[in-house]
Amino acid sequence: MARASLEPYRTKRRFETTPEPAPRRRRSRSGHLFVVQKHRARQLHYDFRLEVDGVLKSWSVPKGPSLDPSVKRLAVAVEDHPVDYADFEGVIPEGEYGGGTVMVWDRGTYEPEDSVDVAAALGKGHLAFTLWGEKLKGGWSLVRVRDRDWLLIKRRDRYASSKDITVEAPKSVLTGRTLARIAADEGGDVAKAASGDPPTRARGARL
């Protein structure tokens, strides 16, 4: 992957308008933070991020992570994000880059397999790691197939499952909110955000 830089992140955003955090390099306490943000922009997708060298290396995962090792999820590399972005949950104004509602869907730490140099492993196109999140746990791999296209794959272990974790556990790990609730609370497009939430199981269920 390209050398860590927050300049592309900076140039795509107007920080006088968007509530997203300003670009600054810093290290979390563990140095191995991971976060998955559910983002209803033009389309629903999940942003998978790993802390590497003071930034969050980031991939857009259109269908979200799968706990099934037989399912290989496309993960498209996007610009590095600041580590502070791991705390961002809210509404990016329409008309701004990525306009829509953002949820902190999962967060925790990760461990690279065999203590490898993460940046070097990503540069070679393959990283094996263990996640310790609230929803995602156990062994995973990121494998580059071409250019910016990678595959995010669950490895076979006791945390593997055929259940759809994006449907079974749709809410924020920070606030317990749905996308629609976040939009309602923070002045976003509720109907648009709600289209990224799974159908409610009971009539009249709250946002």
- Model confidence at 2, pLDDT cuts 50, 70, 90, reads low
Give the model confidence (pLDDT) of 49-97 as tens digits.
999 999 999 999 999 999 999 999 999 999 999 999 999 999 999 999 9
> 90-92 and 33-40 as β-strands: parallel, antiparallel, unpaired?
unpaired
Nearest partner of 173 among 104, 79, 121, judged by Cα? 104
Q: Domains of the chain: which residue ranges? A: 7-189
Kindly give the pairing relationship between strand 90-92 and strand 72-82: unpaired
Contacts of 121 (CB under 8 A, 6+ apart): 112, 127, 128
Query: What is the rounded CA–CA span in Å between residue 62 and residue 147?
Result: 17
Contact 117, 193 (CB under 8 A): no
Give, in degrees to the nearest 5, the angle at Cα 154 between 150 and 156.
140
The overall longest dimension of the chain from CA atoms, in Å, is 50
How many whole angstroms separate alpha carbon 141 and alpha carbon 125? 10
pTM to 2 decimals? 0.94
Judged by DSSP in three states, 34 sits in: strand
Q: Which two tokens stand for residue 63?
A: 């269908």
Question: What is the C-alpha to C-alpha distance for residues 57 and 80, in angstroms, rounded to an integer?
Answer: 5
Cα separation, 134 vs 38, whole angstroms: 15
Structural tokens at position 73: 């999820």
* Closest of 207, 159, 152, 202 to residue 183, by C-alpha: 207
- pLDDT tens-place string over residues 110-138: 999 988 999 999 999 999 999 999 999 99
**pLDDT tens, position by position, 10-23:** 999 999 999 999 99
**Phi and psi torsions of 122, nearest 5°:** -65, -35
